[in-house]
Amino acid sequence: MRYVLGLDIGIASCGWAVINQEKERIEDLGVRIFDKAENPKDGKSLATPRRDARSTRRTLRRKKHRMQRIKILLVKQGLLSKIELNHLYESATEVDVWNLRLDALERKLYPKEFAKILIHLAKRRGFKSNRKETTLSENGQILESISENQHIMEQQNYRTVGEMILKDKKFENHKRNKNGTYIGTVTRQQLQDEIQMIFNTQRLYKNNYATAEFENSYLEIWASQRPYASKDQIEKMIGYCTLEQKEKRAPKASWSFQYFVALQTINNLRLISKFRIEELSFEEKKQIMNLALEKSIVKYIDIRKLLSVPNEFQFNSLSYSADTVDITVESRKCIELKEYHSINKVYKQIYEKNALNLLPKDYDTIAYGLTIFKDDKDILEYLQNKYVNAKGKPISNFANKTYDDTFIQALLNLNFTKMGHLSFKALRNIIPFLEEGLSYDKACEKAGYNFKGTSYTEKTKYLPVIPQNTNPVVHRALSQTRKVINAIIKKYGSPNAIHIETARELSKTFQERKEIDSMYQDNSKKNEHAICKLKELGNINPSGINIVKFKLWNEQDGRCMYSGKYIEPHRLFEEGYTEVDHILPYSRSLDDSYNNKTLTLGTENQRKGNKTPYEYMGNTSIWNDFETRVQSNKKITKKKQQKLLLQHFSYAREQEFIERNLNDTRYATIYLSFLIQQHLIFSESSRKKKVHTVSGIITSHLRSRWGFNKDRKEGHIHHALDAVIVAVTSDHMIQRVTKYYKLKELNRNLQAKRMPFPEPWEGFRLELEARISPNTQQYLKGFRFKNYADVNLSEIKPIFVSRMPKRSITGELHQETIRKFIGYNEKGKVLTAIKTKLEDIPFDANGDFPMYGKETDLYTYNAIKERFLSHKKDKRKSFQEPLYKPTKSGGIGPLIKSIKIIDTRTIVNPVNQGKGVVYNSKIARTDVFKKDEKYYLIPIYTIDLMKNILPQKAITAGKGYEDWTTIDPSFTFLFSLFPNDLIQIVPSKNKTIKARTTVSKKEVLLPSLTGYFKGVHSGTAGIIVETHDGSVIANVGSKQLLLFEKYQVDVLGHYTKIKEEKRIGMAI
């Protein structure tokens, strides 16, 4: 069969369709659904919690090791014996260590006091930002606190941090950071200054222990810190060259890559007049390159002057509004060797004009060192040609040359981070041909490469494993799509062609292109103006974020958009003082456009968090002021005003923004098309274009004209519909549609003739409607399509959505929060207590709440309840003002900040030698047993893996864990269920399953349910099941079911019943 495969690829779906070209019919279609490889709450990588936990463990481990070394040093110096060290804090009359830190400046310390201070200072060492990390981003709240504390010290003449924290009113209630605040944050240097002052003072008081040798030994341990990341760690994260697959990519800042980009730009330049198109001569190209070496930015107007280009000619890469030269248009940047000039500037500052020029390999070496290494010491050693890696192996720099220390120190002020897409090896092979004036594709071919992506490779019937991509969302989408492609090839053979929906826009009209180009030009001018202004202010090489900040500062008349407070211009680029905020949170919109950005004070942005402006300020008095401020600012575009004043940003609206702004899917489609062309064997045919990328705008338009509304809320079937439209959207189809509109526009009278909108073949729309219907066979039989004459219609099944199973057991073993164990309730369930802020208390409809210790503290309970009810049960408003506990005499007692709330759990895990308990994280697997026609479910948690004991207790509704049913050999094991396993359930006789639709929440009654298992409730044994298309969900009691079966689903949605399964152990 000669067929076309259509693919509609999303970040969590792959719709597919097989179009039989011989019979002109939809042969098959379906949908593969998978979870996005990101945190659905904030869009972060799924590896973030694991990485953060690993980082925390590493930090704690290193802190523990540091404290051990400090204590060993104290014993070695004779301040304490080992026995005294073990009993150092057992004295009932112990002096507060904060007082001791002040005493250390005013009297001679006893050995034990000195030891306590040094141990105390070693526990928390203050904030120190990594050089590379600071230039990219920083926590404004931390830096603000540091700045504030520094100001307090200077204003109050405190000698040390310890004196400030002990004496200043700011630290009366809390001396340490608490509840997400950073009141006690100081710099590491400030604490080091205190240590040195203490040692110096003790030496003045003739303390024999405070020797310079001891001070140096202590500070060496105290200040020890591993680098931000090693060269080897950074290189592991760098992708591979698109042409040399075994070579790592070169830095964008390297001379080789910058030269490569410049050559490409120059070789693509053409001069266009009304009558002809002229290419640049070899000599002219050389002149442009020489100009780029002399001038940091080469504009098109510079090239016109350099080459004396007549006014009748225009540059091919620019859009002009007329046939004349437009200075504004030609003021755009053409070539910029930014990093080359940055390095060159430093070099000339050090060696003046008498020094020899650096060689290309010198620029490559410096760029590599400043991009790959994240620690100044490593950069220094690499450029000195003395670097030794973690394995003790000396690594020579590219130039195998030792650079002067003075030059290196000056270079440390530069910071390069990005990588190109080609390796040094590929660049060396391609550049000679680019220097000859060849285009990139021709240069690649001359060098033996395929310019579309990879080296020539042997093609196979099935698509090979997708190379690992640094973007996990893209990688999962590609990997799942590969499975779909291979499954279809296995069933139908090699395709004639594959159509993929791409992100390329449908060709714009001239007016639309001009408007877009005008917008780009305007933005370019604003950027250049900002750069010039920044240079005037002393910011010689402004970063991209600083340019944005400056533009926004001007746009907002120098004020914070949210608070309206004035932003001091000299502090504009101070880290943490100001921040560029996404108006609609990026994690909820994926909108990184300028129209979604605003300049705020760092503190204001921290408070706003993951909210829209209205969610942050709406229903408050400051909203009116904000609204007036936005509307009165004529510099703000209409689109930005709309986003600033948006009041309803629902989940559906979020999805709309994400889908519109998502780049991952677009990249995945293009990248996949290259992989398919490189690796896949197609069926023999005269068709030259085997992979066809289709614009989403086209498919959207065709879908609408053919009468199909894409309602994502109604389930996943629409992905298959889109795939069919993608599959039939060929060049020929587009030509027919174009011709239709052209005829219609030229002859309006044709409208009266009701000229039909083109279809791929007669009856296509009705056929597609039948194929996406749950009653496919009925529709096909009713319409009697001629192209189905040779098909047994009873064998055609409705679309069944296939879902990626989740059978791997990963994630945290238990929740992080440690709770107080109280006891058990009358049902045997565990009672716990957790400290809870007032605004987080779970009030019921009457204002009551499960407070721990209520019986002995009714004053607190009643005060909280009365405050809540008096503010119309609005928790946020209720506790904006401080709440004090009333005394028996009616006076004002202590401030109430939080209380302990009682919670109930079936299963908990003891921690800290039984001092506390933690809740389980998630149920990774559910084992199903049967006895006496009843079903029993055993939940297996992630933590059970660590225990390495297979649980034998089945959920018993309403009972504590100890009272659950114990599974013994009299029970029959049926199967294990993981999330997204397909099951079929039938309720007991004369009963129905109560379910609800996922969109309208309407209740429906079902005689049976076949769907994907989503999870089980450990308190009720109820199982959550969702239909294959996601349209209906149900929570069904499992014990009294008449039928409970498990099915295996393949990638294309074909499913079969599992006959027998053995219970597997914990090694999964």
Dihedral (C-alpha) 339, 342, 345, 346: value to the nearest 10 degrees?
-110
Burial (CB < 10 A; 0-12, 13-18, 19+), residue 851, is buried
* CA–CA gap between residue 947 and residue 187 (Å, rounded): 42
Q: Is 323 a catalytic residue?
A: no
Report the alpha-carbon distance of residue 431 to residue 976 in Å, rounded.
Answer: 58
Binding residues: 8, 501, 505, 719
The closest alpha carbon to 420, from 431, 407, 433, belongs to 431
What's the CA gap between 246 and 252, in Å, rounded? 19
Question: Which structure tokens are listed for 27?
Answer: 């042969």
908-911 vs 953-954, strand pairing mode? unpaired
Pairwise CA distance, residues 1062 & 293, whole Å:
71
Question: Does an H or E element contain 766, and which?
Answer: helix 764-771
CB 244 within 8 A of CB 456: no
Q: Distance between CA atoms of 840 and 831, rounded to whole angstroms? A: 19
CA distance 907 to 830: 7
One-letter amino acid for residue 525 of the chain: K
- Map residue 878 onto helix, strand or coil: helix
Whose tokens are 């028996």? That residue is: 888
Using CA atoms, how far residue 236 sits from 85, 165, 230, 372, 505, in Å, is 44, 43, 10, 11, 35
Closest-CA residue to 543 (of 418, 380, 422): 418
Task: Give the separation between CA 232 and CA 301, rounded to whole angstroms.
Answer: 44
Question: Six-digit token pair at 710?
Answer: 């894409």
d(CA 337, CA 644): 37
State the Cα–Cα distance between residues 659 and 710, nearest whole angstrom.
13
Catalytic residue (choose from 341, 499, 582, 718): 582
Q: How are the residues of the chain apportioned to helix, strand and coil, as percentages rounded to the nearest 5?
A: 40, 20, 40
State whether the Cα torsion 553-555-558-561 is positive or negative: negative
Residues 569/558, Cβ–Cβ less than 8 Å: yes
Burial 231-244 (b: 16+ CB within 10 A, else e): beeeeeebebbbbb
8 is catalytic: yes
The residue type of 810 is T
Q: Which of 8, 364, 591, 927 is catalytic?
A: 8
Asked if 877 and 782 count as a contact pair (C-beta separation under 8 A), the reply is no
Q: What number of H helices and E strands is found in the chain?
A: 38, 33
- Exposed, middle or buried: residue 49 (CB in 10 Å: 0-12, 13-18, 19+)? middle
For residue 963, give the DSSP letter.
G
- Please report which residue ranges of 772-834 form alpha helices under DSSP H: 776-783
DSSP labels, 45-86: -TTHHHHHHHHHHHHHHHHHHHHHHHHHHHHHHTS--HHHHH
List binding-site positions for Mg(2+).
8, 501, 505, 719
Q: Which of 614, 610, 620 is nearest to 644 (CA)?
A: 614
**How do 1003-1006 and 993-997 pair as beta strands?**
antiparallel
On the CB side of 559, how many CA atoms lie within 13 Å of its CA? 11
Token pair, residue 391, equals: 């394995």
The two most distant CA atoms of the chain are separated, in Å, by 109
Residue 15 to residue 340: CA distance in whole angstroms: 46
Give, in degrees to the nearest 5, the angle at Cα 128 between 126 and 134. Answer: 145
Active site residues: 8, 582
